[in-house]
Amino acid sequence: MSWTYATLLALVAVLVALSLSPEADSAAVPSSKGSVKEPPGSMKRIFMKEADAATFFRKRSRRASKSQDEINAEQRQILAADERMREFNEEKRTRQENFAEEEDDEQNEKSRESTEQWREFHYDGMHPPQEYNRQSI
């Protein structure tokens, strides 16, 4: 029995606190329908009157053609996106080409060094180095 009494007491305390708080008055629905307040400041720009909204949607239906300004703005956005994509792909291609060129240079250097080492190891000193000892055909 004591837990039901404690729960009931807590519920009544919450209701009293909510009814006395100033936020409860601002969240309440006004009882008088005759007086409609204008929204303050920036809210005027967000909400429009019902008649204006109806004409807006009537004027711009799903099949309505776009104005030239809208078409131009969309084209500018598409062209800017294409340019960004082109620059990105160009930078990517340049990085890949530089990487491939560096890898090729490293491989050529390694093969040249190994060839020189092989020639030095196999040179017996009796004959000139092999590159000068070629037979003429």
pLDDT of 1 reads: 62
DSSP per-residue letters across 47-114: ---HHHHHHHHHHS-TTPPPPHHHHHHHHHHHHHHHHHHHHHHHHHHHHHHHHHHHHHHHHHHHHHHH
Cβ atoms of 106 and 114 closer than 8 Å = no
Token pair of 117 as six digits: 């080492």
pLDDT tens column, 76-98: 999 999 999 999 999 999 999 99
**pLDDT per position as a tens digit, 62-80:** 667 788 998 999 999 999 9
Structure tokens at 21: 């708080």
**Angle ∠(21,23,25) on CA atoms, nearest 5:** 90
